[in-house]
Structure 1
Amino acid sequence: MERIFFFAIAILCLNATTIATDIPVGYVSGTWTLAGSPYNVQGSIQIPNDSTLTIQPGVNVIFQGAYKLNVQGRLLAIGTIADTITFTAINTTEGWRGIRFDNTPATNDSSKIVYCKLQYGKAIGTSPDYNGGAVYINNFSKVIIYHSLITKCSANNSAGGVYIVAANPIMSNSTISYNTSFEEGGGISIRSGSPIINDNLISYNSGTNGSININGGGIYIESGNASIVNNTISNNSSTQGGGIKIFGGNSIINNNIISNNQANTGGGIYVQGGNPTISYNTISGNIAQNSGGGIEAGADITITNNIISNNTATSGGGGIRCYTESAIIKFNFICGNTVTSNNNEYSGGGGIKCVNCDPSTDISNNVIANNNAGNGAGLLCYNASPTLTNNILTNNSASNNGGALSCSDGSPIFRNCIIYGNTAATSGTQIYLYDDSSDPKFYYSDIQGGTAAFELNNNFYTGAYQNNIDTDPLFATPSGGSGTGYNGLTADWSLQNSSPCIDAGDPNGIYPSTDIAGNPRKNVCRIDIGAYEYQTGIPSFVVSLGISQPILCNGAATGEITTTVSGGAEPYTYHWSNEQTTPNVSGLVAGNYTVTVSETSYACSIVKSITLTEPIAISIDAGADTTIICGDTIAFITSTNYTGTDPLTYTWSPSVGLSDSTLANPYLTPTSDQVYTVTVTTSDGCVATNDINVTMVPINAPEICIVSVDSSNKNLVTWNKPLSLSIDSFYIYRETITTDVFEKIGSEPYDSMSVFVDNASLPNVQSSRYKISIFDNCGLESNKSGSHKTMHLNINQGMGTTWNLDWEPYEGFIVSSYRILRGTSPDSLQLIGTTSGGSTQFSDFTSPAGYIYYQVEVVSPNFCNPSKSYSSSRSNIATNNPNGIYENTNTSDLFSFYPNPATDKIQVFVKQKSGIEIMNAVGQMLKSINAIDNNSNIDISGFARGIYYIKVKSVNGIIVKKFIKE
């Protein structure tokens, strides 16, 4: 956005002694020098965002009409103690419209108004222009006002001097005087935010709107958390809160002098809402035409460590009037205050007047002395029953009734209080009870004259009156008499060493740690009566407990407690809640322990308690129970709830199968079912255990690759051997005569070929169904595999030379096709046809005459490799030869061979000229020798490991024998 800057136009007047700079309406920035002073502002001006206007010391800024300085950038008006910068108006009646920080962007650095004089600022018109006569600050906290004078400014609504809303500026070491507002905050108005107002003089500010209540002559606080510290707030006036009016928020009013202010209500301070703290102030000489000469408290207020003196109210509460809400009034000197009216029974309360107060109102450790009132010169309770503890009500003077206390429908509670030396012109020198419903309670107090001196106004007193005394308290240096004619502030209200109030207070109460002078409370073991604690004599009886040995483990009885005692007089006695009687106790479990320690000088006893705690029980989780296959390895994964830094010790039991029984997470290779227990131990000896159950499960079931009929006309079972170091052997099962009932017929070691020949099988008679399983090194047998069944082939002759083939289908895998083999001998089988896997019949119309041999073959879709390729399964050989496929009858003695098993050669011996063939397990011929007469060495080194057959043919028949190649 384009910015237009209107620059100062220097006009040199004809008079050589006068130099001025005219500033027209618009934007300003740069530097206003002393040489160009005065600066005559001829319209409202604005410092733009991100721009700075610097005004040099000694410059006079004179607004020529009702114009304002709007700061959207940065203002640096920094004068010196000798060269003040002045902001003023040429027409003091019309004034100017002040310096305004209205939503100034927070990106700008702090604006500073230092050693400046702001006068004749006037806020008029409508909102927000009618707020903040000199300075208006809205939603911008980077404003510092320091060593400046804000005077003779006014606002038609709020803040004749400085208006603050949603901002946290700093105002320090400045004077805000003779400013006026129409409704609130003659000097300063704080609508919200947390400003810091410190070390200022705020005086002679006021409200001017006749019939409407004007709030806060000096300062008005609507809400927020203002800090009002070290200021002098004096001679201000308004309808409510001559010095300060607080409507809400949690402001702190600390260490100020608030004096000689006037208001209808709340001459010094009026608190209508919020939770402010008023502390360490001197509040004196203020006047309220109605009530609350020093403070009018209508909210939950804390009033502590103040001097509240010589204030005046007409109807009630010369020092303080608290009403409706709860108040905390502690450690104050409330002296020399006056209530002038004596119209009725509830006119009074020279020191404090409580009206309709919440019962939780706490008035304690105060000196209430030398106050004057018509009734209740010290305290008047009207429909109120506050609690008063360790107060001194003395030398107060009532022109009518109740020198110390007057109650009308009120029953306050007094504990450890001194009520002495008060006077009343009519009745009840100490205490006056106006009606029968007023029954104050007194405990451990010094009451002059006792109940006999109570003035009951023809009523009956039925309140509690216990453990009180009626004796001169023997103050160190009391004031010379009652009433405001004597100075209660300069008196010394501490106790002489022979005072009957020493160690005479309630021994069972809970009290603050110090008295009104900041000295420790309780000498020996009983608190004194009054606001001061006597500080000499037998040392205070003090008992403390400490834990000398904490409990290190959950559930352990290892705790120790030590008692430390000082003061009083020995010997001390001890009685613990667990019946022990020694100073120190040990062997303790977790719990709360109480000891009563007694000394002998005053027979005082102190009860102390301490709690022994124990750590959370350490726990360990070994993990969920698990299963494992023989030969596998798993890692235990433990977890604990231990949060310490010292190392933990682990022990596993038993250690069998573990990589290391002292690790948190060892590896396990088990061989049997086992429950393992882990024990964890901390450096403090705390122990936890947990179990994990490890169960062995068999290896997964193997699968048969193929079953077939070998060249020796025996069933052959083949499988692929899993790679494992945990397999002992393979079990082979054959179906019995009962369907799906299998019996074990043999086994093969893992290191043998994964081939099994069922020598008991009868392939020519029937098919057989087989399953296998794995027996592992852990003694577990797997589930059985799926079954495979051999093919059984039958043939029958049709018309002429036609032969019909019928076979049982192969079971174990999906057969895509069957191959039909035919030959004139078992050794000459050739493929003659193929049929689909869904067919189990075939007719051969072209068979030759004579003996015919048939066999059915299927090719496996799986790869079988026990030692070499096994890719097909063959049925039995069916023939029309009445002798079957073997022509020899009893010819086994016609040849022999060795060795068996063999490695690279076998030597064959025959008794007659013979031919030799060597076949593999599925009948494929691998080697043929036409004729040998006696013996022959046959080279088999090129054969793979496996089972083979030697077929010897001679004139006497055919002999087949099996051997193994290693």
Structure 2
Amino acid sequence: MKNATKILFIQLIIYISSVAMTFESGEISGTWTTYDSPYYITDSVYIPGNDSLVIEPGCSIIFLGNYKFIVDSNAVLKAIGTEADSIYFTSMDTSVGHHGMRFIYPAAGCTLEYCRIEFGKASGDSFWDSYGGGIFLFFGNLVINHCLITHNEANAEGGGIYSLSSNLTLLNSEICNNKTIMFSHITGAGGGLFINDYYENYSEIYGNYFHNNYSEVGGGIVCSGANVEICKNRFINNYALLEHTEGFGGAIYILDSNPIVDGNVIAYNYASCGAGIGILSVNYSSSLFFNNLIYNNEADSCGGGLWISCECCSSIIMNNTINHNSAVTGGGIYAEGGRDIIIINTVFSDNEAQYGSEIYVGSNMWSPFNIFLSHNNIDSALCYAELSSCLFVWAYGNFTSIPVFSDSLLHLDDISPCIDAGACSVYVSFWDSTIYAPSYDIDSFPRPYGDNWDVGAYEWHEGNIDRNYKPPSKSFIFACPNPFNSSCVIFVETQNLASPIDIAIYDLRGNVIYELSPLSSNSFLPEEKGESFPLLGERETQRVRGQFTWTPDKSIASGIYLVRATTQDGHTITKRIVYLK
């Protein structure tokens, strides 16, 4: 019996010694390997300035307390997993959590790819401690691709991610079950993500899934003073609720920002005001909304689909489908403020409210403004202005009809009156400008398919089509630096070696500022491996890139401009650039 016990004890010692465990605290650098994983964090760790850390696929980083993972000034972290072998950042005690990944003046090149970041808890009395539950980014660049950010929380802002004065690129990731809470009279904001900027940087939020995030303001995302593209994302079941007052922006809350919101699905979100999207602006800014599905959102006060309160913000809403949203006032849109709203090629249907089922204009706190409508499927009898200081401008092409969808995703049926009922461009008289409709739909299919643009987020196509298909000549535009103050290098990346590309630069009112002779295949060079990030489900292919430099004339004012590239097969891509003299 004694011998059997001794043998069992020896086997146990051998087993324990064969299981790798690494304990870390303080300064870290070099490479963390799968062989030495898991890594147990026994106190806060930091990558020192001018140093780096690489974390291999399959590593697990387990925090034994509420400790920070700091990427210090001019340091680099590359945590790059694979689809089959993710990297985990988690906590031994999920009720205590860890204190998040803190990027503070990091060097360029920091990347999180195929990582799972969970159970971060940012709590404390200071800015440094109470913002960014999962990730805190301060004055730097960070790429987050194919990551899961879940069950994180912050006492103030950015339950999942907080970004201040940074260039954040968030791609193909899932942001879910994150939250902020009110602390010391600071309203929690940005349950999933908070981008805070001063119009000096640029962030891209592309192809992500935001769901079941919670905050008092901006359940999914808050953008404050930000230049940001929010494209091809899904926002489902996000909540903005405040115990003693109104919560704003169930999915997205935009404050004094310049966003392009394009090709998103925004559904089943909840807030007091702006269950889908809330916009507040007291400084000059502009918001562009193209090709979005905004449906089944519920506000218990105003603005089931959108709530817009802008003293100095103009909004352009084109080719959206705003369906079955509900509120007490303004089931589709609630608007108040002193800047014009342009609505073109948009479907309003089955929105519900006691007052203004489609559009309701509340008390105007600022100067008179116009709501311009052209080529929309909308019932004017369901639009209401509280005061005469707002003028509905019913331009040509509006109609009232049942849109006839073919499925629950709101694709147009082949008998829909919305087919060919839109416009490729519309002249807005009080702006003395022509506004151009997008040349693609929510699924990146080219517009128009028939004789004219369709109304709504989808372009109808005859027969059965694969909506997961992406055009073979899919292209991208990059700009560096962006924002810029003298000149900007604009790169056009494509898979098509043969087709020349037409380039034009527009202001936000559709005026052509600059045109370039077509970039031919001679202008393109094969791209070095690893420069681009293929989208989810996209195969790796050899891509090519052309470039040109734009130096604005001295007469060109500071502002936001759109670079539009059109290939020979009609595929059009647009990139926003910011010029600051």
TM-score by length of 1: 0.39
Query: Out of 155, 165, 188, which is 2:122 matched to?
Result: 155
Aligned partners of 1:266 and 1:158: how far apart in 2? 19
Q: Which residue of 2 aligns with 1:372?
A: 352
For the structure 1 residues 97 and 287, does the alpha-carbon distance in structure 2 shift closer, same or farther, using more than 3 Å as the test? same
User: Deviations 1:525-554 (Å, cap 9, x if unpaired)?
Assistant: xx8996699999xxxxxxxxxxxxxxxxxx
Aligned partners of 2:274 and 2:265: how far apart in 1? 15
User: Aligned ranges for residues 561-640 of structure 1 at < 5 Å?
Assistant: none
For the structure 1 residues 179 and 86, does the alpha-carbon distance in structure 2 shift closer, same or farther, using more than 3 Å as the test? same
Q: Does 1:116 align with 2:87?
A: yes
Q: Shift of residue 514 of structure 1? A: 6.4
Q: Which residue of 1 aligns with 2:319?
A: 331
User: Deviations 1:140-178 (Å, cap 9, x if unpaired)?
Assistant: 222111111100111121111111122112111110000
User: Aligned ranges for residues 303-702 of structure 1 at < 5 Å?
Assistant: 303-324=289-310, 325-339=313-327, 341=328, 348-359=329-340, 361-382=341-362, 383=364, 384-394=369-379, 404-409=382-387, 410-420=390-400, 478=404, 489-492=410-413, 510=434, 512=436, 519-520=447-448
Q: Shift of residue 46 of structure 1? A: 3.3
User: 2:436 is aligned with what amino acid?
Assistant: P
For the structure 1 residues 498 and 521, does the alpha-carbon distance in structure 2 shift closer, same or farther, using more than 3 Å as the test? closer
Aligned partners of 2:461 and 2:74: how far apart in 1? 58
For the structure 1 residues 45 and 498, does the alpha-carbon distance in structure 2 shift closer, same or farther, using more than 3 Å as the test? closer
8 Å Cα contact 1:381-1:412 kept in structure 2: no
8 Å Cα contact 1:281-1:307 kept in structure 2: yes
User: 1:489 is aligned with what amino acid?
Assistant: L
Q: Shift of residue 218 of structure 1? A: 0.3
For the structure 1 residues 416 and 243, does the alpha-carbon distance in structure 2 shift closer, same or farther, using more than 3 Å as the test? same
Aligned partners of 2:203 and 2:439: how far apart in 1? 29
Aligned partners of 2:150 and 2:409: how far apart in 1? 32
Q: Shift of residue 112 of structure 1? A: 2.8
Q: Which residue of 1 aligns with 2:555?
A: none
Query: Out of 275, 278, 287, which is 1:293 matched to?
Result: 275
Aligned partners of 1:228 and 1:515: how far apart in 2? 21
Q: What SS class does the counterpart of residue 16 from structure 1 fall into?
A: helix
Query: Out of 177, 184, 188, which is 1:214 matched to?
Result: 188
Q: Which residue of 2 aligns with 1:547?
A: none
User: Aligned ranges for residues 864-875 of structure 1 at < 5 Å?
Assistant: none
Aligned partners of 2:153 and 2:454: how far apart in 1? 48
Q: Which residue of 1 aligns with 2:39?
A: 61
8 Å Cα contact 1:151-1:161 kept in structure 2: yes
Aligned partners of 1:71 and 1:284: how far apart in 2? 43
Q: What SS class does the counterpart of residue 420 from structure 1 fall into?
A: coil
For the structure 1 residues 238 and 495, does the alpha-carbon distance in structure 2 shift closer, same or farther, using more than 3 Å as the test? closer
Q: Shift of residue 37 of structure 1? A: 1.9
User: Deviations 1:605-641 (Å, cap 9, x if unpaired)?
Assistant: xxxxxxxxxxxxxxxxxxxxxxxxxxxxxxxxxxxxx
Q: Shift of residue 356 of structure 1? A: 1.2
Q: Which residue of 2 aligns with 1:461?
A: none
Q: Does 1:235 align with 2:212?
A: yes
User: 1:252 is aligned with what amino acid?
Assistant: E
User: Aligned ranges for residues 271-290 of structure 1 at < 5 Å?
Assistant: 271-288=254-271, 290=272
Aligned partners of 2:426 and 2:385: how far apart in 1? 24
For the structure 1 residues 181 and 506, does the alpha-carbon distance in structure 2 shift closer, same or farther, using more than 3 Å as the test? closer
User: 1:153 is aligned with what amino acid?
Assistant: G
Q: What SS class does the counterpart of residue 169 from structure 1 fall into?
A: strand
Q: Shift of residue 276 of structure 1? A: 1.3
Aligned partners of 2:211 and 2:87: how far apart in 1? 22
User: 1:370 is aligned with what amino acid?
Assistant: D
Q: Between the two proteins, what is the percent identity of the paired residues?
A: 22
Q: What SS class does the counterpart of residue 195 from structure 1 fall into?
A: strand
Q: What SS class does the counterpart of residue 378 from structure 2 fall into?
A: strand
Q: Which residue of 2 aligns with 1:269?
A: 252
8 Å Cα contact 2:68-2:101 kept in structure 1: yes
Query: Out of 66, 69, 78, which is 2:56 matched to?
Result: 78
Q: Which residue of 1 aligns with 2:22?
A: 39
8 Å Cα contact 1:521-1:533 kept in structure 2: yes
User: 2:90 is aligned with what amino acid?
Assistant: Q
Q: Which residue of 1 aligns with 2:488?
A: none
For the structure 1 residues 152 and 535, does the alpha-carbon distance in structure 2 shift closer, same or farther, using more than 3 Å as the test? closer
User: 2:13 is aligned with what amino acid?
Assistant: A
Q: Does 1:170 align with 2:143?
A: yes
For the structure 1 residues 135 and 338, does the alpha-carbon distance in structure 2 shift closer, same or farther, using more than 3 Å as the test? same
8 Å Cα contact 1:335-1:488 kept in structure 2: no
User: 1:44 is aligned with what amino acid?
Assistant: G
TM-score by length of 2: 0.63
Identify unmatched segments of 5+ residues in structure 1. 1-11, 21-34, 123-129, 342-347, 395-401, 422-474, 481-485, 537-966
User: 1:279 is aligned with what amino acid?
Assistant: D
Aligned partners of 1:374 and 1:119: how far apart in 2? 47
For the structure 1 residues 118 and 195, does the alpha-carbon distance in structure 2 shift closer, same or farther, using more than 3 Å as the test? same
8 Å Cα contact 2:63-2:98 kept in structure 1: no
8 Å Cα contact 2:141-2:168 kept in structure 1: yes
Q: Which residue of 1 aligns with 2:67?
A: 96
Q: Shift of residue 490 of structure 1? A: 4.5
8 Å Cα contact 1:232-1:258 kept in structure 2: yes
User: Deviations 1:342-382 (Å, cap 9, x if unpaired)?
Assistant: xxxxxx111111111402x2111111111111111111122
Q: What SS class does the counterpart of residue 167 from structure 2 fall into?
A: coil
Q: Which residue of 1 aligns with 2:531?
A: none
For the structure 1 residues 312 and 516, does the alpha-carbon distance in structure 2 shift closer, same or farther, using more than 3 Å as the test? farther
User: Aligned ranges for residues 186-205 of structure 1 at < 5 Å?
Assistant: 186-205=159-178
Q: Which has the larger radius of gyration?
A: 1
Q: Shift of residue 121 of structure 1? A: 9.3
8 Å Cα contact 2:132-2:160 kept in structure 1: yes
Aligned partners of 2:236 and 2:418: how far apart in 1? 37
Q: Shift of residue 408 of structure 1? A: 0.9
Q: Shift of residue 492 of structure 1? A: 3.8
Q: What SS class does the counterpart of residue 302 from structure 2 fall into?
A: coil
Q: What SS class does the counterpart of residue 386 from structure 1 fall into?
A: strand
Q: What SS class does the counterpart of residue 59 from structure 1 fall into?
A: coil
Aligned partners of 2:225 and 2:10: how far apart in 1? 55
Aligned partners of 1:284 and 1:365: how far apart in 2? 20
Q: Does 1:146 align with 2:93?
A: no
Aligned partners of 1:185 and 1:336: how far apart in 2? 30
8 Å Cα contact 1:317-1:349 kept in structure 2: yes
Q: Which residue of 1 aligns with 2:101?
A: 134
Q: Which residue of 2 aligns with 1:798?
A: none
Identify unmatched segments of 5+ residues in structure 2. 1-8, 124-129, 241-246, 463-581
User: 1:191 is aligned with what amino acid?
Assistant: L
Aligned partners of 2:66 and 2:147: how far apart in 1? 21
For the structure 1 residues 528 and 103, does the alpha-carbon distance in structure 2 shift closer, same or farther, using more than 3 Å as the test? closer
- Aligned-residue CA RMSD in angstroms? 3.8
Q: Shift of residue 111 of structure 1? A: 2.8
Aligned length: 407
Q: Which has the higher contact order (CA 8 A, sep 6+)?
A: 2
For the structure 1 residues 104 and 36, does the alpha-carbon distance in structure 2 shift closer, same or farther, using more than 3 Å as the test? farther
